[in-house]
Structure 1
Amino acid sequence: SAVSALAPIGSAAAAPAVPPPLSAANAVAPVDGLVIYTEEDARTMADIEQHSRRKGRLRSVMPNARLDVMPATLKLENWNLCALTFDDGPHRTVTRQVLDVLNKEGVRATYFPVGKIAQNYGDLIRDFVAGGHEIGNHSLTHSDLRAMDAEGQRYEIAETNRILRSFGANPVLFRPPYGRYSNEMLNVAREERMGSVLWTVDTRDWKVRDADKIVQHIKTAGGTGNVFLMHSTYPTTALALPRVIAELRAKGCEFVTLSEWLERLQTLALPKIVNAGMPTPSPMPVSATANPTAVVPASVTRN
């Protein structure tokens, strides 16, 4: 079927654009959002996957998570939630094809576009949101943000949020370009109300550019309960996607957005109180009327 050609639209006037600080002024976004990964980038990405095998599942995806969940707990809980995530782009044709496959398969995913490219594809961002998918923040230009000062990092994150919000998205997750981050960058993201996220399984679609090899890698490396890294810019990824979804479904994957995956995992990470005499603490303050067994301290006055 013909792929709709999206007419670039100007960035909406929801919030004014601000000029970039010096450290970010010369950053240029890749054409079509298509990032060329170097050997050094490949090493960084391989390291992330290696480390994730040694850490608990939560901390390997969210480097500054305070709690973690160890593999034994996941096994006990039959943890089968899977998050498909797509980086880079939007590419003028491939990203739409990826969205079409996700919608046809009824899989909700999380997409991290490059802000400066996304500003020309407002219709596509809106269509992702309308399909129940999550939009995250992948920086304005896909530069290595560690080379910028805090002001430059903040600009790359905040300006991308401004662009994406103008198209009806509500980004709460930030994925640093190339998976490269510093503690300073994590703090800047947190100040911008963003959680910084990585992944646990890299499909290596950026490296192999071969649909059969992508599917084979999922067969061997793609267990349930993982966060999968894919890219929205390679025709071979769009081609492999229906089979990738079928393979993961056959393994027992239940697909959710990355925010949902993190929220559900965090509930597993909360310490369980096993003493039957102790009430289980509620994560949110519960009103006494909603919870008839709630004990109201004598010092609290009721309205």
Structure 2
Amino acid sequence: QTGSVITSCTVPNTTALIFDDGPYIYLYVMFLTHGVVFRQNIVDMLDAKGVKGIFFVSTYYIDFAFSLAGFSPHSNFSDSNNLCSSLTDNEFQLTTNAAALEKILGVKVVLMGPPYGSYTDSVLQVAAAHNQSMIIWDFDSGDSIRETAVNSEKDYDTLVAKHPNMILTLNHETIGDTTILPHALDDILGAGYNLMTVTECLGLPTYLSVAVLSVQD
């Protein structure tokens, strides 16, 4: 149901990894140094385990999208990460971001993540008008408040030890989750969870539609 708030998966024993505030350099970057190509990215780590993540992208960084290889965003985000609960319908920036994703990547996504997990009824109405629903996490890695990697890893340890039936984790792409991601993946997979995208663990299509990419302005 569009315009709803989703707080957990519907498929038992599943986990979805959410990466917020992208696209940024930790998602998928190839750079050349002295003739040698190096890669530092989240996507490789997920690929190595045969799993996927979900990326909340914002037009604040959307210009990176043309240079990102293998990037598959599944969710929308607001244009400049303002609190959605403090915006009027006319100010709400979902339209801008959705239009950018459609033009640059040719996709219309089914989910959006409200900044800071904050929203109002009017925001839900705007999302519904775009045939989208809100996704809210149930576990925060703590990276957004600069929690140390050691403490974030302990938080993941505690989480999987409790073994909730389903998990939606919040991580931030801009803070270098590459540090704790291998540990988090080992924890989650070692506990027997199936790692899926949010749309997969909800039984939803990945995109509302997929079109031919537009040329860059």
Q: Give the TM-score, by structure 2 length.
A: 0.77
Q: How many residues align?
A: 185
- After TM superposition, give the deviation of residue 64 of structure 1 in Å: 6.8
Alignment equivalent of 2:171, drawn from 224, 230, 234:
230
Matches within 5 A, 1:159-178: 159-166=96-103, 167-178=105-116
Runs (4+) off by over 6 Å: none
Structure 2: how far apart are the matches of 1:245 and 1:110?
A: 14
Alpha-carbon offset, residue 128 of structure 1:
1.7
1:128 aligns with one of 35, 51, 71: 71
Choose 238-247 or 111-120, whichever is displaced more: 111-120
User: 2:62 & 2:120 partners in 1: Cα distance?
Assistant: 25
Structure number with larger C-alpha Rg: 1
- Give the secondary structure class of the aligned counterpart of 1:142: coil
TM-score if structure 1 supplies the norm length?
0.56
> What SS does the aligned partner of 2:184 have?
helix
Answer yes or no: is 1:101 the counterpart of 2:40: no
The alpha-carbon deviation at position 116 of structure 1 amounts to 2.7
Q: Distance in 2 between matches of 1:112 and 1:241?
A: 17
| 2:5 counterpart residue number | 63
Q: Deviations over 1:74-122 (max 9, x none)?
A: 8xx9x2111111100222x222212221122221111001123113332
Partner of 2:55: 111
| Equivalent-residue separation in structure 1 for 2:148 and 2:108 (angstroms) | 33
CA displacement, residues 45-78 of structure 1 (integer Å, 9 cap, x when unaligned): xxxxxxxxxxxxxxxxx6379xx99xxxx8xx9x
Say whether the 8 Å CA contact 1:119–1:164 is kept in structure 2: no
Measured in 1, the distance between the counterparts of 2:66 and 2:56 equals: 14
Distance 1:225 1:64, change over 3 A: closer
Residue type at the aligned position of 1:94 = Y
Alignment of 1:135-174 (within 5 A): 135-153=74-92, 156-166=93-103, 167-174=105-112
1:204-261: per-residue Cα shift (whole Å, max 9, x none)? 12224422221110110243511111110112x1111011001111111101110111
Q: Which runs of 5+ in 2 are unaligned?
A: 29-40, 205-217
The answer to whether the Cα contact below 8 Å between 1:115 and 1:137 also exists between their aligned partners in 2 is: no
Distance, in Å, in 2 between the alignment partners of 1:138 and 1:64 is: 15
Q: SS at 2:183's partner residue?
A: helix
Match of 2:140 in 1: 202
Contact 2:5–2:133 (Cα < 8 Å) also in 1 = no
Distance 1:169 1:104, change over 3 A: farther
Structure with the larger helix share:
1
Q: Is structure 2 residue 208 aligned with structure 1 residue 248?
A: no
Structure 1 match to 2:36: none
Q: Distance in 2 between matches of 1:238 and 1:64?
A: 27
Corresponding residue SS for 2:90: helix
User: What are the superposed Cα offsets for residues 276-301 of structure 1, whole Å, 9 maximum, x if unpaired?
Assistant: xxxxxxxxxxxxxxxxxxxxxxxxxx
Q: What is the aligned counterpart of 1:221 among 140, 154, 159? A: 159
Q: Deviations over 1:178-212 (max 9, x none)?
A: 10100110111111111111011111122244222
Preserved CA contact (<8 Å) 2:143 2:171: yes
Percent of aligned positions with the same letter in both sequences? 23
Q: How far apart, in 1, do the equivalents of 2:64 and 2:196 lie?
A: 27
Higher strand share: 2
From 14, 23, 26, the counterpart of 1:90: 23
SS of structure 1 residue aligned to 2:153: helix
Distance in 2, matches of 1:119 and 1:196, equals: 24
